[in-house]
Every structure is written in C-alpha cells, then in structure tokens.
Amino acid sequence: MSVPIEQARLALEMHFGYKDFRPGQQGVVQALLAGRDALAVMPTGAGKSVCYQIPGVVMSGLALVISPLVSLMGDQVRSLQDVGIQAAYLNSTLTPSQQGSIMARALAGEFDLLYVAPERLEDPRFVEFASQAPIPLVAVDEAHCVSQWGQDFRPSYLRIGMFIEQLPTRPTVAALTATATERVRADIVRLLGLRDPYQAVTGFDRSNLHFSVERLEPNKKLNRITTYAKAHPEDSGVVYCNTRKNVEKVHEHLVQSGVKATRYHAGLRKEERSANQQAWINDDAAVIVATNAFGMGIDKSNVRYVVHYNMPSSIEAYYQEAGRAGRDGLASECMLYWSDGDLSTCRFFLEQDSGNESMSPEEAEVARAARRRMLAAMEGYCLTCECLRGYMLRYFGDESAAQQDNGLCNNCSNCEGGFRAVDVTAEARAVMRCVQELR
C-alpha cells in the first residue's frame, strides 16, 4: 500500500527539522513509498541516509538497513534515537543474548529501522527472524561494495540479493552509494536484483570545493600541511594518510608545531579512537590525522579542508574522502600531495592477498585487475594538465557538468595555471628507439 509523500514530509520536519526534501531525495522517497525499487547515487553530504530513514519511519513494519560500517552502527543508531526515531543494530559487538533481545523487541514492533552487517544475513538465527518480521523495505548502504568494479568490493554483498529473494514477501529495495561509475551502477542493479528501479544520479559536482594537486617529497608535505593548519587555526580539517606509521608521523609533527591535532587509526584502542573522534567533532581538536578507515558515516558539516598526505588508490576513494569537506555548502579546500613513493605503496597493497577466504583465486584476480585500473585513473588525475574537476566528473560519467564553461572550472589548481606544459615528444621518441634497439 502506497504512503503519501505528505506523510513523509511531516516525518522529515518532525525528526530532522526540514520542511522539504533536498534535490534528488524526493524522487527516491516517492518511489520507495510507492513500492518501487530505487538506486540513489549522491555525493557525500547530499543526504542519502534520509532517502531510506524517512520511508523506514512512515512505512508499516521494520526497515532493514544493510551497512558494512560495523564500527559506526552504534553512532548511527544513537543519532537516530536523538531525533526520536526508534532504531537498533545487530552486529558482533553484541553478545548472543543481547542479539536475541534486539530481535525479540523488533518482532514486537519496537523499532522502525534495524542496522545489520551483510555477514549477518548468513546467520540461520537471523534468517529465521527475518522470515517472521514484517519487512517492507531493505536499504543497502555503500551499495558499490557489491561490484568487483567498485573501489571496495566485498563478497558478502553478493549474498544480499539471495537473502531478499528468500523472504516470504519481497520488500522494496533501496541501493545507495556516494560514488559509482556507470558500470558499477549496472552491477548494483543486476547483483541486488533490483526490479525496474527508479534511478537518481544527482551529479557529482561540488562547486564549493577547490581541488589542488602537488607532487612533493615527504618532508615538504609535512611542512606544507603544518603551515596551512597554523594559518587556519579556527578551521576544522582532516589529514588522510595511507599507513598508521604516517598518521603517527604527521600527528606528532603537527602537535610539536603547536597545532591542536588528534589522530585515528586501527592500532589505537577503541576507547582512544572514540575519544579522539569526539574531540574533533566537538572542535576541541582542529585537525584529525587518520587512515581511510575514518570518516564514513560521520556527519560534521563544517570541515573546511581535507588534505591527502598520500595518493589514494582510486578516484572513488579520493572523491568520497575529499567530499567530507564543505558539507555545509561553504567554500572548502581539497589538497592532494603525492610522491613516487605513494604510487609504490599503492601498488604493493594492491597486489597483496585480500585475506578474504570466501573469494576464489579467479575472483581475487578479477578484483586485483579492477583495482589496477582504478589506480591508473588515480595516477592520471595526479598527472593531468586538464581541469581536475572535469577529470573526476568525466570519470563518473557526468559529461554535461564536465563540459560547462569550456571545460574550465576556475576553481582548481590546474585551471588556475599552477604548472607549465612542456613538449617532450622528441625525448619520448628517443627513448622508444633505444628500447627497440636494445630489445
């Protein structure tokens, strides 16, 4: 039975204080309320969560949210409870008896939304629970994880489609992600078994973000980041590093230079990570230095700059991390500093065994090949003389936005002319002749 959009608007205002939906949100919400599957590709900060949270509130029954972010489920649920939405989560941090209690309360109708990790769908106890619960909606967050062509393929996501099909009554399905190329979008529809989905691709352009790329050696990177942080002491920032060792090095340098900085990586105790994250959210620490495990699911609108101390392994990862800047719509900086050593580190990690035993050798090699292509595109971004914004928009298939203003955004370091182009055709030909002669 269809739910009127007016009811959804009332829930939106009551819980979140907004009188109407943002661009892109209303179409997704209307489709879900009418019982139609939906695929939403919206950049970080565009409000993807509202697209399934509000339908979950107004639909009769329990909305199931499948998310890979086990470490953040508690935070997400507490945020919903703070605005009066009845939500809970099931994951490995709970004891079996706690899990049993949550499922019993869910069957009793105490919750509107229940967050679970995709691995939970294989648990016979949970499958039995799901077969009894009235589930009108299944929302798949970070849906790009289902595709081997995405930046974060997870075999556990491949089981979601089968889980949905075995439910007594097929629910409406919503798939949501911040970054997905056309090929990944097609994979999401096919592998999750979406039926004639309403598709909302709101565009990837974030005009308030200024992008810059510079090739620097590690010591120069440290000095550049410290100088910027000290020049903007009241601004909130994130510095991303590719290893824990680099996080410690950058954090120590910032603190010794008088910058109010904290850190976040998997090597710290859970309590310390949580305290450091909260200090940054509360603006007690201006800067947080972190590995890429940090940031997903965190709603902090006033981040004025995101710096990458190392080259990320894909455009998808970079755009998602950089996109945590300027979620309030104000002008913000996205700075990428890279060196040849970063490329070597990315290649090293790329070729390592994923450690995922559920992947066959053939699947693992397909995933590695996809990651090689994504790394090549990331390297191209660092080396291009074209508009940086246009390069990313074309990568995601947003051609119309990339071609505006004759392909120049005038809001990135390349459009501002921060380099000099040199013709090396003669040198390249000489190298190729040498290679040919020497075999």
Whether 214 and 157 map to the same domain: the answer is no
Flag whether 438 is in a domain: no
Flag whether 436 is in a domain: no
Cβ(345)–Cβ(242) below 8 Å: yes
Of 151, 180, 201, at which residue does a domain stop?
Answer: 201
Count of domains observed in the chain: 2
Asked whether the CA dihedral 124, 127, 131, 133 is positive or negative, the reply is positive
Cβ(173)–Cβ(341) below 8 Å: no
Whether 166 and 299 map to the same domain: the answer is no
Flag whether 417 is in a domain: no
pTM across the whole model:
0.78
Residue 62: closest CA among 113, 105, 132: 113
Whether 283 and 258 map to the same domain: the answer is yes
CA dist list (Å): 190 to 82, 181, 194, 289, 370: 36, 14, 7, 38, 18
Tokens of 34: 């009418």
Whether 253 and 137 map to the same domain: the answer is no
Residue 38: closest CA among 203, 205, 191, 188: 188
Flag whether 425 is in a domain: no
Tokens of 162: 């089968």
Whether 36 and 180 map to the same domain: the answer is yes
Whether 181 and 284 map to the same domain: the answer is no
Whether 222 and 251 map to the same domain: the answer is yes
Flag whether 252 is in a domain: yes
Tokens of 386: 């074209």
Whether 305 and 194 map to the same domain: the answer is no
Per-residue pLDDT of the chain (439 residues; tens, 9 = 90+): 678 899 999 999 999 999 999 878 999 999 999 999 999 998 776 788 999 999 999 999 999 999 987 767 888 898 899 999 999 999 888 899 999 999 999 999 999 999 999 989 989 999 999 999 999 999 999 898 888 776 677 888 889 999 999 999 999 999 999 888 888 899 999 999 999 999 998 878 888 999 999 999 988 999 999 999 999 999 999 999 999 999 999 999 999 999 999 999 989 998 898 899 989 999 999 999 999 867 666 778 899 999 999 999 999 889 989 989 998 889 999 999 999 999 998 998 888 765 555 567 787 787 788 889 999 999 999 999 899 999 999 998 877 665 666 667 889 999 998 677 789 999 999 999 999 999 8
Cβ(139)–Cβ(64) below 8 Å: yes
Flag whether 416 is in a domain: no
Whether 172 and 303 map to the same domain: the answer is no
Q: What is the DSSP string of 134-179?
A: ---EEEETTGGGG-TTSTT--GGGGGHHHHHHTSSSPPEEEEEES-
Whether 384 and 252 map to the same domain: the answer is yes
**Residue 341: domain span:** 209-407
Tokens of 84: 């009066």
Alpha carbon 258 to its chain centroid, in Å, reads: 31
CA dist list (Å): 97 to 66, 92, 102, 103, 104: 21, 12, 9, 10, 10
Whether 186 and 45 map to the same domain: the answer is yes
Of 201, 221, 241, at which residue does a domain stop?
Answer: 201
- Using a 10 angstrom Cβ sphere, with 0-12 exposed, 13-18 middle and 19 or more buried, the burial of residue 258 is exposed
3-state secondary structure of 287: strand
**Residue 284 pLDDT:** 95
Element (H, E) at 140: strand 137-140
Flag whether 272 is in a domain: yes
Strand-pair category, 198-201 with 209-215? unpaired
For residue 177, the domain's CATH number is: 3.40.50.300
Of 142, 168, 201, at which residue does a domain stop?
Answer: 201
Flag whether 422 is in a domain: no
Instruction: Determine the Cα–Cα distance for residues 333 and 318; give it in Å rounded to an integer.
Output: 13
Whether 172 and 53 map to the same domain: the answer is yes
**Residue 414 pLDDT:** 92
3-state secondary structure of 325: coil
